[in-house]
Structure 1
Amino acid sequence: MKPLIGVSTYLETSAKWGVWDLPAALLPTGYPRLVQRAGGLAVMLPPDEPATAASVVTRLDGLVIAGGPDVEPVRYGAEPDPRTGPPARERDDWELALIEAALASGTPLLAICRGMQLLNVALGGTLIQHLEGHTAATVGVFGEHPVKPVPGTRYGTAVPEESAVPSSHHQAVDRLGKGLIVSAYAGDGTVEAVELTDERWVLGVQWHPEMGEDVRVMTALVTAATRETLPGGSSGLSACPSRSG
């Protein structure tokens, strides 16, 4: 049976299709298509009451926290930089609750771009509010740059070679959250992937795998989610030894 992978969504006050212009919970099709290409079943998770997150996560085999707007700086105890975007408080509340529920239940978790930043914040880390060179010069267009994996990490095992990735972000991880290590870097030293070192399958990537052709990161999540559903209750997850970041 294919594992059920939940993907968090945007919540917009105005979206257009056909003759309609209405509030909408939406998600770029790259996300569900990547889940499907990796062998999973995709389901959208629009913002809801945070108290319902644990109940939602118990119905899933895996969770993806999608990219999107900047995390509100108050979440990590900082004053907003003038270049930080407007807050998306409903998404922050909901996705933080989803992350906490996944961490508590051991549900495999892949956090993408904003999702990786929110994962770091959920574990007590902080963010760099603005950096140059990681967003394409043209607004609404993804750039591309190489990332180098850290050998021996989950990410480094899934993608052992340096590879070019589609990217669009102006914020990044600063102080790592509790239990996280770095598993990939950009050439300028920017943290590009983080993961937990215990038996829980938790990985964050700063780029957008849904915008590229490389399915290996999502395949690793789907594989972990499939093992979670094996008969007999065995998770099938191997623990990674502790490593310094």
Structure 2
Amino acid sequence: MTARPLIGVSTYLEAGARWGVWELEAALLPVGYPRLVQRSGGLAAMLPPDEPEQAATTVARLDALVIAGGPDVDPARYGAERDPRTGPPAHARDIWELALIDAALSAGVPLLGICRGMQLLNVALGGTLVQHVEGHAEVVGVFGRHTVKPVPGTRYAEAVPEETSVPAYHHQAVDRLGTGLLPSAYAEDGTVEAVELPAADGWALGVQWHPEMGEDSRVMRALVRAVS
């Protein structure tokens, strides 16, 4: 039996998480992420924030890396003033996940960024973000759906060749693309919905939506296939 690849997934760090009789600081990961990894043929490992110098050692133990969705990226990371609609910064998570991304890209470990993960991949490569896109998170705490269209000839289009409806919850988006990144899917309003590095630069893909909240596993399966 072929060993299932170990896929590390970054986590939330919450100060007041509640379960049972407890209210404590916790490293959290919505269950959709490990379930998506598992049904795509991988083993899921949670990666709570750590010291950035541990990122290379951590990534070296993994077959692939997922940077999960979450809070807004601190605009200071891409040299912008904070928009009043930008959420509070998550400094520990920004530092840790940027270190993970850098380590994965340096080591050639396949990388998938989901929502915030895609935005952070763009920032890690010198890109910037639109801090508020009207109508992209219309109901607080409720995932919406919209259509994305692949760019022919891209890695994303190879995995998902047709226009498809995706679950989404975000209000920020890619503005200036990071160095080397190519757009590989768009929303109907022109928002960049997926980015990737050319094959010659390694396997790295970011999607703006939340595949863990739907039934379509093709993006995660593409990550798992990239390991073998």
TM-score of the aligned structures, taking structure 1 as reference length = 0.91
Tell me whether 1:185 sits opposite 2:171 in the alignment: no
Q: CA deviation at 1:198?
A: 3.4
> What's 1:165 paired with?
166
> What's 1:156 paired with?
157
Aligned AA (2:136): H
Tell me whether 1:138 sits opposite 2:139 in the alignment: yes
Q: CA deviation at 1:134?
A: 1.3
> What's 1:89 paired with?
91
Cα-to-partner distance string for 1:161-216 (whole Å, 9 max, x where unaligned): 00000000000000000000000000000000000013311000000000000000
Cα-to-partner distance string for 1:105-161 (whole Å, 9 max, x where unaligned): 0000000000000000000000000011211x3211100000000011000010000
Tell me whether 1:214 sits opposite 2:226 in the alignment: no
Q: Distance in 2 between matches of 1:7 and 1:92?
A: 14
Number of equivalences? 225
Q: CA deviation at 1:6?
A: 0.0
> What's 1:9 paired with?
11
TM-score of the aligned structures, taking structure 2 as reference length = 0.98
Cα-to-partner distance string for 1:59-115 (whole Å, 9 max, x where unaligned): 000000000000000000000000000000000000000000000000000000000
Q: Distance in 2 between matches of 1:123 and 1:172?
A: 15
SS at structure 2 position matched to 1:210: helix
Q: Distance in 1 between matches of 2:139 and 2:121?
A: 28
Unpaired segments ≥5 residues, structure 2? none
Q: Distance in 1 between matches of 2:151 and 2:30?
A: 29
What stretches of structure 1 move > 3 A for 4+ residues in a row?
A: none
Q: CA deviation at 1:5?
A: 0.1
- Cα root mean square deviation, aligned: 0.5
Identity among equivalent pairs (%): 76
SS at structure 2 position matched to 1:70: coil
